Structure 1
Protein backbone atom coordinates (compact mmCIF):
# COMPACT_ATOMS: atom_id res chain seq x y z
CA UNK A 1 0.00 0.00 0.00
CA UNK A 2 1.39 3.42 -0.91
CA UNK A 3 1.94 5.96 1.85
CA UNK A 4 1.71 9.75 1.67
CA UNK A 5 4.18 12.42 2.66
CA UNK A 6 2.68 14.06 5.74
CA UNK A 7 3.82 17.52 4.66
CA UNK A 8 3.13 17.51 0.91
CA UNK A 9 0.37 14.92 0.74
CA UNK A 10 2.10 13.31 -2.26
CA UNK A 11 2.35 9.56 -2.65
CA UNK A 12 5.68 8.10 -1.63
CA UNK A 13 7.65 6.10 -4.16
CA UNK A 14 7.74 2.32 -3.78
CA UNK A 15 10.25 -0.10 -5.15
CA UNK A 16 9.95 -1.57 -8.62
CA UNK A 17 9.46 -5.08 -7.19
CA UNK A 18 6.73 -3.85 -4.86
CA UNK A 19 5.06 -2.09 -7.76
CA UNK A 20 5.18 -5.25 -9.86
CA UNK A 21 3.73 -7.39 -7.07
CA UNK A 22 0.94 -4.87 -6.55
CA UNK A 23 0.19 -4.80 -10.29
CA UNK A 24 0.07 -8.59 -10.49
CA UNK A 25 -2.19 -8.69 -7.43
CA UNK A 26 -4.63 -6.28 -9.05
CA UNK A 27 -4.50 -8.25 -12.30
CA UNK A 28 -5.35 -11.45 -10.41
CA UNK A 29 -8.23 -9.64 -8.72
CA UNK A 30 -9.47 -8.51 -12.12
CA UNK A 31 -9.33 -12.08 -13.45
CA UNK A 32 -11.47 -13.24 -10.52
CA UNK A 33 -14.05 -10.55 -11.24
CA UNK A 34 -14.22 -11.46 -14.92
CA UNK A 35 -14.76 -15.13 -14.05
CA UNK A 36 -17.85 -14.36 -11.96
CA UNK A 37 -21.42 -14.67 -13.18
CA UNK A 38 -23.55 -11.49 -13.41
CA UNK A 39 -25.43 -12.60 -10.30
CA UNK A 40 -22.18 -13.00 -8.35
CA UNK A 41 -20.87 -9.64 -9.56
CA UNK A 42 -24.08 -7.97 -8.43
CA UNK A 43 -23.34 -9.08 -4.85
CA UNK A 44 -19.96 -7.34 -4.82
CA UNK A 45 -19.16 -3.64 -4.27
CA UNK A 46 -17.80 -3.20 -7.81
CA UNK A 47 -17.46 0.48 -8.83
CA UNK A 48 -19.79 1.38 -11.69
CA UNK A 49 -16.95 2.61 -13.89
CA UNK A 50 -15.32 -0.85 -13.83
CA UNK A 51 -18.40 -2.79 -14.93
CA UNK A 52 -18.09 -1.98 -18.69
CA UNK A 53 -14.45 -3.09 -18.68
CA UNK A 54 -15.37 -6.34 -16.89
CA UNK A 55 -18.17 -6.97 -19.37
CA UNK A 56 -15.81 -6.37 -22.29
CA UNK A 57 -13.26 -8.81 -20.88
CA UNK A 58 -16.02 -11.40 -20.56
CA UNK A 59 -17.06 -10.80 -24.16
CA UNK A 60 -13.58 -11.20 -25.66
CA UNK A 61 -12.51 -14.83 -25.94
CA UNK A 62 -9.45 -14.61 -28.22
CA UNK A 63 -6.48 -15.35 -25.96
CA UNK A 64 -4.23 -12.37 -26.75
CA UNK A 65 -7.10 -9.90 -26.96
CA UNK A 66 -8.52 -11.23 -23.71
CA UNK A 67 -5.19 -10.78 -21.92
CA UNK A 68 -4.93 -7.27 -23.31
CA UNK A 69 -8.41 -6.42 -22.03
CA UNK A 70 -7.59 -7.87 -18.61
CA UNK A 71 -4.52 -5.64 -18.46
CA UNK A 72 -6.69 -2.68 -19.44
CA UNK A 73 -9.16 -3.56 -16.68
CA UNK A 74 -6.33 -3.85 -14.15
CA UNK A 75 -5.04 -0.42 -15.21
CA UNK A 76 -8.41 1.10 -14.37
CA UNK A 77 -8.60 -0.87 -11.12
CA UNK A 78 -5.26 0.55 -9.98
CA UNK A 79 -6.82 4.00 -10.16
CA UNK A 80 -9.28 3.01 -7.45
CA UNK A 81 -8.58 3.66 -3.79
CA UNK A 82 -6.92 0.86 -1.86
CA UNK A 83 -10.02 0.67 0.33
CA UNK A 84 -12.17 -0.13 -2.71
CA UNK A 85 -9.89 -2.97 -3.81
CA UNK A 86 -9.66 -4.31 -0.25
CA UNK A 87 -13.45 -4.30 -0.01
CA UNK A 88 -13.62 -6.31 -3.24
CA UNK A 89 -11.10 -8.85 -1.93
CA UNK A 90 -13.02 -9.23 1.34
CA UNK A 91 -16.32 -9.65 -0.50
CA UNK A 92 -14.78 -12.23 -2.84
CA UNK A 93 -13.51 -14.23 0.13
CA UNK A 94 -16.98 -14.26 1.69
CA UNK A 95 -18.61 -15.04 -1.66
CA UNK A 96 -16.16 -17.88 -2.28
CA UNK A 97 -16.92 -19.47 1.08
CA UNK A 98 -20.64 -19.10 0.46
CA UNK A 99 -20.30 -20.62 -3.00
CA UNK A 100 -18.45 -23.65 -1.64
CA UNK A 101 -21.19 -24.23 0.90
CA UNK A 102 -23.85 -23.78 -1.76
CA UNK A 103 -22.20 -26.29 -4.10
CA UNK A 104 -21.94 -28.81 -1.26
CA UNK A 105 -25.61 -28.32 -0.46
CA UNK A 106 -26.66 -28.70 -4.09
CA UNK A 107 -24.88 -32.06 -4.15
CA UNK A 108 -26.83 -32.93 -1.02
CA UNK A 109 -30.07 -31.95 -2.78
CA UNK A 110 -29.19 -34.28 -5.66
CA UNK A 111 -28.42 -37.10 -3.21
CA UNK A 112 -31.77 -36.66 -1.46
CA UNK A 113 -33.60 -36.66 -4.79
CA UNK A 114 -32.01 -39.99 -5.72
CA UNK A 115 -32.84 -41.41 -2.28
CA UNK A 116 -36.46 -40.39 -2.75
CA UNK A 117 -36.55 -41.93 -6.21
CA UNK A 118 -35.02 -45.18 -4.95
CA UNK A 119 -36.59 -45.65 -1.51
CA UNK A 120 -39.84 -43.68 -1.79
CA UNK A 121 -41.74 -43.32 1.49
CA UNK A 122 -38.83 -44.63 3.58
CA UNK A 123 -36.56 -41.83 2.30
CA UNK A 124 -39.39 -39.33 2.60
CA UNK A 125 -39.80 -40.19 6.27
CA UNK A 126 -36.08 -39.62 6.86
CA UNK A 127 -36.26 -36.31 5.02
CA UNK A 128 -39.21 -35.16 7.13
CA UNK A 129 -37.31 -36.05 10.30
CA UNK A 130 -34.61 -33.62 9.21
CA UNK A 131 -36.88 -31.04 7.56
CA UNK A 132 -40.28 -31.25 9.30
CA UNK A 133 -41.51 -28.19 7.39
CA UNK A 134 -41.46 -30.13 4.13
CA UNK A 135 -44.78 -30.84 2.40
CA UNK A 136 -45.15 -34.62 2.63
CA UNK A 137 -48.02 -34.92 0.17
CA UNK A 138 -46.39 -32.66 -2.42
CA UNK A 139 -43.13 -34.60 -2.35
CA UNK A 140 -44.84 -38.00 -2.38
CA UNK A 141 -46.84 -36.97 -5.46
CA UNK A 142 -43.76 -35.59 -7.22
CA UNK A 143 -41.76 -38.74 -6.51
CA UNK A 144 -44.51 -41.00 -7.84
CA UNK A 145 -44.87 -38.87 -10.94
CA UNK A 146 -41.10 -38.80 -11.49
CA UNK A 147 -40.89 -42.58 -11.12
CA UNK A 148 -43.66 -42.95 -13.70
CA UNK A 149 -41.86 -40.54 -16.05
CA UNK A 150 -38.69 -42.57 -15.77
CA UNK A 151 -40.49 -45.86 -16.34
CA UNK A 152 -42.27 -44.52 -19.44
CA UNK A 153 -39.21 -42.61 -20.71
CA UNK A 154 -41.10 -39.32 -20.57
CA UNK A 155 -39.60 -35.83 -20.12
CA UNK A 156 -38.45 -35.49 -16.49
CA UNK A 157 -40.75 -32.66 -15.49
CA UNK A 158 -41.59 -33.97 -12.01
CA UNK A 159 -37.97 -35.05 -11.54
CA UNK A 160 -36.87 -31.42 -12.02
CA UNK A 161 -39.64 -30.21 -9.71
CA UNK A 162 -38.33 -32.46 -6.95
CA UNK A 163 -34.93 -30.81 -7.27
CA UNK A 164 -36.36 -27.29 -7.09
CA UNK A 165 -38.60 -28.19 -4.15
CA UNK A 166 -35.70 -29.69 -2.22
CA UNK A 167 -33.45 -26.79 -3.12
CA UNK A 168 -35.88 -24.22 -1.75
CA UNK A 169 -36.35 -26.39 1.33
CA UNK A 170 -32.70 -27.08 2.13
CA UNK A 171 -30.48 -24.37 0.71
CA UNK A 172 -31.57 -21.32 2.77
CA UNK A 173 -31.06 -23.20 6.05
CA UNK A 174 -27.63 -24.40 4.92
CA UNK A 175 -26.52 -20.85 4.15
CA UNK A 176 -28.06 -19.33 7.26
CA UNK A 177 -30.81 -17.68 5.21
CA UNK A 178 -33.89 -19.28 6.70
CA UNK A 179 -37.00 -17.83 5.14
CA UNK A 180 -35.09 -16.48 2.15
CA UNK A 181 -35.43 -18.19 -1.22
CA UNK A 182 -32.47 -18.88 -3.43
CA UNK A 183 -31.67 -16.17 -5.98
CA UNK A 184 -34.25 -16.17 -8.72
CA UNK A 185 -31.67 -15.78 -11.47
CA UNK A 186 -29.98 -18.99 -10.39
CA UNK A 187 -33.15 -21.06 -10.33
CA UNK A 188 -34.64 -22.95 -13.21
CA UNK A 189 -37.81 -21.58 -14.72
CA UNK A 190 -40.75 -22.15 -12.33
CA UNK A 191 -42.91 -25.13 -13.01
CA UNK A 192 -46.17 -24.65 -14.88
CA UNK A 193 -49.13 -23.99 -12.67
CA UNK A 194 -51.77 -25.44 -14.97
CA UNK A 195 -53.93 -28.28 -13.79
CA UNK A 196 -53.22 -30.58 -16.71
CA UNK A 197 -52.01 -33.87 -15.26
CA UNK A 198 -51.99 -35.79 -18.49
CA UNK A 199 -48.32 -36.68 -18.12
CA UNK A 200 -48.54 -37.64 -14.45
CA UNK A 201 -48.99 -41.06 -12.95
CA UNK A 202 -52.31 -42.10 -11.59
CA UNK A 203 -52.71 -44.45 -8.67
Structure 2
Protein backbone atom coordinates (compact mmCIF):
# COMPACT_ATOMS: atom_id res chain seq x y z
CA UNK A 1 0.00 0.00 0.00
CA UNK A 2 1.35 3.39 -0.99
CA UNK A 3 1.07 6.37 1.34
CA UNK A 4 -0.52 9.54 0.11
CA UNK A 5 2.27 12.08 -0.40
CA UNK A 6 -0.09 15.03 -0.03
CA UNK A 7 -0.85 14.53 3.66
CA UNK A 8 2.09 13.81 5.88
CA UNK A 9 1.93 14.29 9.66
CA UNK A 10 4.85 16.72 9.48
CA UNK A 11 2.84 19.10 7.26
CA UNK A 12 0.01 19.53 9.75
CA UNK A 13 0.72 21.94 12.62
CA UNK A 14 0.39 20.47 16.10
CA UNK A 15 -2.53 21.85 18.08
CA UNK A 16 -2.76 20.86 21.73
CA UNK A 17 -5.98 19.80 23.40
CA UNK A 18 -5.71 22.89 25.61
CA UNK A 19 -5.53 25.14 22.55
CA UNK A 20 -8.57 23.43 21.02
CA UNK A 21 -10.47 23.93 24.32
CA UNK A 22 -9.50 27.62 24.46
CA UNK A 23 -10.74 28.10 20.90
CA UNK A 24 -14.03 26.35 21.71
CA UNK A 25 -14.48 28.50 24.82
CA UNK A 26 -13.81 31.64 22.77
CA UNK A 27 -16.48 30.59 20.27
CA UNK A 28 -18.95 30.04 23.11
CA UNK A 29 -18.18 33.53 24.44
CA UNK A 30 -18.81 34.92 20.95
CA UNK A 31 -22.05 32.93 20.87
CA UNK A 32 -23.10 34.45 24.22
CA UNK A 33 -22.40 37.93 22.83
CA UNK A 34 -24.67 37.08 19.89
CA UNK A 35 -27.44 35.91 22.24
CA UNK A 36 -27.26 39.20 24.15
CA UNK A 37 -27.68 41.36 21.02
CA UNK A 38 -30.96 43.10 20.24
CA UNK A 39 -32.97 41.97 17.22
CA UNK A 40 -31.78 44.94 15.14
CA UNK A 41 -28.14 44.32 16.07
CA UNK A 42 -28.50 40.62 15.29
CA UNK A 43 -29.77 41.47 11.80
CA UNK A 44 -26.45 43.20 11.10
CA UNK A 45 -24.51 39.99 11.78
CA UNK A 46 -24.00 37.59 8.84
CA UNK A 47 -25.56 34.38 10.20
CA UNK A 48 -26.96 31.36 8.41
CA UNK A 49 -30.47 30.17 9.29
CA UNK A 50 -29.39 27.29 11.54
CA UNK A 51 -27.12 29.45 13.70
CA UNK A 52 -29.69 32.27 13.79
CA UNK A 53 -32.40 29.86 14.95
CA UNK A 54 -30.10 28.42 17.64
CA UNK A 55 -29.43 31.94 18.95
CA UNK A 56 -33.15 32.75 19.04
CA UNK A 57 -33.82 29.49 20.89
CA UNK A 58 -31.14 30.32 23.47
CA UNK A 59 -32.89 33.63 24.12
CA UNK A 60 -36.19 31.86 24.81
CA UNK A 61 -34.77 29.38 27.33
CA UNK A 62 -36.21 30.33 30.72
CA UNK A 63 -34.00 28.12 32.85
CA UNK A 64 -30.60 29.81 32.57
CA UNK A 65 -28.77 26.80 34.00
CA UNK A 66 -28.33 23.42 32.33
CA UNK A 67 -30.57 23.91 29.30
CA UNK A 68 -29.03 27.27 28.50
CA UNK A 69 -25.51 25.88 28.96
CA UNK A 70 -26.23 23.01 26.54
CA UNK A 71 -27.71 25.43 23.99
CA UNK A 72 -24.59 27.60 24.25
CA UNK A 73 -22.44 24.51 23.67
CA UNK A 74 -24.55 23.76 20.59
CA UNK A 75 -24.05 27.32 19.33
CA UNK A 76 -20.30 26.91 19.87
CA UNK A 77 -20.40 23.63 17.91
CA UNK A 78 -22.26 25.31 15.05
CA UNK A 79 -19.74 28.14 15.03
CA UNK A 80 -16.81 25.70 14.83
CA UNK A 81 -18.30 24.40 11.58
CA UNK A 82 -18.37 27.88 10.03
CA UNK A 83 -16.05 30.69 9.10
CA UNK A 84 -16.47 32.96 12.13
CA UNK A 85 -14.31 35.82 10.87
CA UNK A 86 -17.25 37.74 9.27
CA UNK A 87 -19.26 37.23 12.47
CA UNK A 88 -16.49 38.51 14.75
CA UNK A 89 -15.79 41.45 12.43
CA UNK A 90 -19.47 42.44 12.50
CA UNK A 91 -19.50 42.14 16.32
CA UNK A 92 -16.37 44.30 16.54
CA UNK A 93 -18.07 46.87 14.30
CA UNK A 94 -21.09 46.97 16.62
CA UNK A 95 -18.84 47.34 19.67
CA UNK A 96 -16.96 50.17 17.94
CA UNK A 97 -20.19 52.00 17.25
CA UNK A 98 -21.20 51.60 20.87
CA UNK A 99 -17.87 53.03 22.05
CA UNK A 100 -18.25 56.02 19.74
CA UNK A 101 -21.77 56.67 21.01
CA UNK A 102 -20.62 56.43 24.62
CA UNK A 103 -17.70 58.79 24.00
CA UNK A 104 -20.03 61.30 22.33
CA UNK A 105 -22.44 61.04 25.27
CA UNK A 106 -19.59 61.71 27.74
CA UNK A 107 -18.45 64.69 25.69
CA UNK A 108 -21.94 66.21 25.92
CA UNK A 109 -22.01 65.58 29.68
CA UNK A 110 -18.64 67.32 30.06
CA UNK A 111 -19.86 70.37 28.13
CA UNK A 112 -23.00 70.53 30.26
CA UNK A 113 -21.00 70.35 33.47
CA UNK A 114 -18.51 72.96 32.26
CA UNK A 115 -21.30 75.37 31.29
CA UNK A 116 -23.04 74.93 34.64
CA UNK A 117 -19.78 75.31 36.61
CA UNK A 118 -17.93 77.98 34.61
CA UNK A 119 -20.83 79.93 33.15
CA UNK A 120 -20.01 82.62 30.58
CA UNK A 121 -16.46 81.43 29.79
CA UNK A 122 -17.64 77.94 28.87
CA UNK A 123 -20.60 79.35 26.91
CA UNK A 124 -18.23 81.52 24.84
CA UNK A 125 -15.93 78.57 24.19
CA UNK A 126 -18.83 76.36 23.12
CA UNK A 127 -20.19 79.07 20.81
CA UNK A 128 -16.77 79.32 19.14
CA UNK A 129 -16.65 75.58 18.50
CA UNK A 130 -20.38 75.31 17.67
CA UNK A 131 -21.39 78.36 15.58
CA UNK A 132 -25.07 77.36 15.59
CA UNK A 133 -25.25 77.44 19.40
CA UNK A 134 -27.55 80.05 20.91
CA UNK A 135 -25.65 81.78 23.73
CA UNK A 136 -28.84 83.33 25.10
CA UNK A 137 -30.47 79.91 25.44
CA UNK A 138 -27.34 78.55 27.14
CA UNK A 139 -27.32 81.46 29.61
CA UNK A 140 -31.00 80.84 30.33
CA UNK A 141 -30.35 77.18 31.21
CA UNK A 142 -27.40 78.22 33.38
CA UNK A 143 -29.49 80.78 35.31
CA UNK A 144 -32.38 78.35 35.72
CA UNK A 145 -29.97 75.76 37.06
CA UNK A 146 -28.57 78.20 39.63
CA UNK A 147 -32.09 79.09 40.83
CA UNK A 148 -33.08 75.43 41.08
CA UNK A 149 -29.98 74.65 43.13
CA UNK A 150 -30.64 77.56 45.51
CA UNK A 151 -34.20 76.41 46.15
CA UNK A 152 -33.30 72.68 46.36
CA UNK A 153 -35.46 71.85 43.35
CA UNK A 154 -34.85 69.01 40.90
CA UNK A 155 -32.21 69.84 38.24
CA UNK A 156 -34.67 70.24 35.38
CA UNK A 157 -32.58 72.94 33.68
CA UNK A 158 -29.54 70.67 33.74
CA UNK A 159 -31.50 67.98 31.91
CA UNK A 160 -32.88 70.51 29.44
CA UNK A 161 -29.36 71.80 28.80
CA UNK A 162 -28.18 68.25 28.13
CA UNK A 163 -30.99 67.69 25.61
CA UNK A 164 -30.18 71.01 23.92
CA UNK A 165 -26.45 70.15 23.71
CA UNK A 166 -27.22 66.67 22.36
CA UNK A 167 -29.37 68.15 19.58
CA UNK A 168 -26.75 70.80 18.88
CA UNK A 169 -23.83 68.36 18.71
CA UNK A 170 -25.73 65.70 16.78
CA UNK A 171 -26.59 68.10 13.97
CA UNK A 172 -22.92 68.52 13.03
Shorter-chain TM-score: which interval? 0.5 to 0.7
Number of equivalent positions: 157
> Deviation string for 1:60-113 (max 9, x for gaps)?
57455543332233344445x42xx32221122222233223322322221111
Which sections of structure 1, spanning at least 5 residues, go unmatched? 1-14, 173-177, 180-203
Tell me what 2:115 maps to: 116
- Tell me the residue number matched to 1:157: 156
CA distance in 1, matches of 2:43, 2:155: 32
Is 1:68 the counterpart of 2:67? The answer is no
How far apart, in 1, do the equivalents of 2:43 and 2:148 lie? 38
Match of 1:92 in 2: 91
Q: In 2, distance between residues paired with 1:77 and 1:87?
A: 11
What's the offset of the Cα at 1:35? Answer: 3.8
CA distance in 2, matches of 1:30, 1:96: 15
Q: Give the alignment of 1:46-195 within 5 angstroms.
A: 46-47=47-48, 50=51, 53-54=54-55, 57=58, 60=62, 62-78=64-80, 81-82=82-83, 85-170=84-169, 172=170
Following superposition, the deviation at residue 131 of structure 1 comes to 1.5
Cα offset for 1:147? 2.8
Alignment of 1:21-60 (within 5 A): 22-37=23-38, 40-47=41-48, 50=51, 53-54=54-55, 57=58, 60=62
Distance 1:157 1:47 in 2: 48
Instruction: Name the structure where helix makes up a greater proportion of residues.
Output: 2
Please give the TM-score of this superposition, normalised by the length of structure 1.
Answer: 0.59
Query: 2 CA distance for matches of 1:47 and 1:162?
Result: 45
TM-score of the superposed pair, with normalisation by structure 2? 0.67
RMSD of the alignment, in Å? 3.3
